[in-house]
Amino acid sequence: MTNRFDGKTVLITGAASGIGAETARRFADEGANLIVADLQKEAGTALVEEIGDAARFMSVNVIQEAQVSAAVDFAVAEFGSLDVMVNNAGIVGAIGSIMETTEKEYDLTADILLKGVFFGMKHAARVMVPQGSGSILSLSSVAGVTGGLGPHIYAACKHGVIGMTKSVASEMSQHGVRVNAVAPGSIVSPMTADVGTGDPTDLETTAEGIGEGSPLGFAGMPIDIAEGLLYLASDAARYVTGHTLVIDAGMTTGAKPSRLTTRESGLLREAGGRGA
């Protein structure tokens, strides 16, 4: 195990479970100080107890700017700096037909998935710019790079996260602050379990289902996303900014083989013709 983040301070929103929790563990493994920011107090407190003295829990609702700002200030007060900001908090949000989505459902979904990221970027930047260094990371989705892979408002917001990442990266580059995103594919987590089985604790069935649909033949796990986030936050990615790292087993590149590549070779022509 390396100590790539020894003495660095990392704030992760939505850190109490799933991708956020595994990312917190990995940063802690490599020497980081952690602020676990989440509305799930019991799970967040348990994670902090698991990690130990290097972690602190703070209850944060990412749609409340004052709370995001306070979390950033808490990180600096506790550990002296903020070196990595991970905007991870999210929900599935509004589902169903565009014709039936209500304004209230739209507003809450967009507030959490896009406004929450905006607040995280804004308040991380105000600390990182004077430092002259830092890494801001945000969770998009494969639904943010193509259509048909998520509910409408979720997809729109995840596209928005990528756009905001590129735009903020262009401003922050002059200050030595890198801004990147990760776009996960189907990952085994309480959220995907709830969507797939109706039971957020049924991770085993969820893993089986995701694995069956994966081009690589196995399910993506939170650790797979965590490792991507650690790479982007590390000095190994010092020349990377404004980038969205897609971690999806090749799903969005069409990596699942076409039946036309697995049948007997030859050439199909118009009107049923065969051969060259």
Block residue for tokens 């995001």:
68
Q: Rounded to 5, what percent of the chain is helix, strand, coil? A: 50, 15, 35
The span from the CA of 193 to the CA of 33, in Å, is 30
Tokens of 253: 């590149």
The span from the CA of 10 to the CA of 129, in Å, is 16
The span from the CA of 241 to the CA of 154, in Å, is 24
pTM of the model: 0.91
Q: With b meaning 16 or more CB within 10 Å and e meaning fewer, what string describes 43-59? A: bbeebbeebeeebbbbe
Domains of the chain: 9-185+220-272 (3.40.50.720)
Q: What spatial distance separates the first Cα and last Cα of the chain, rounded to whole Å?
A: 56
pLDDT band at 261 (very low <50, low <70, confident <90, very high): low
Which pLDDT score, from 0 to 100, does residue 256 have? Answer: 64
**Active-site residue 239, yes or no?**
no
* Beta sheet of 33-38, edge-to-edge order: 55-59, 33-38, 9-13, 84-87, 134-139, 177-184, 244-247
Model pLDDT for residues 119-135, shown as the tens digit of each residue: 999 999 999 999 999 99
Which pLDDT score, from 0 to 100, does residue 148 have? Answer: 85
The span from the CA of 273 to the CA of 276, in Å, is 9
Model pLDDT for residues 176-189, shown as the tens digit of each residue: 999 999 999 999 98
Q: Check: CB of residue 162 under 8 Å from CB of residue 140.
A: yes
Task: Annotate 186-207 with three-state secondary structure.
Answer: CECCHHHHHHHHCCCCCHHHHH
Tokens of 93: 């949000």
The span from the CA of 62 to the CA of 88, in Å, is 10
Is pLDDT at 36 greater than 60 in this prediction? Answer: yes
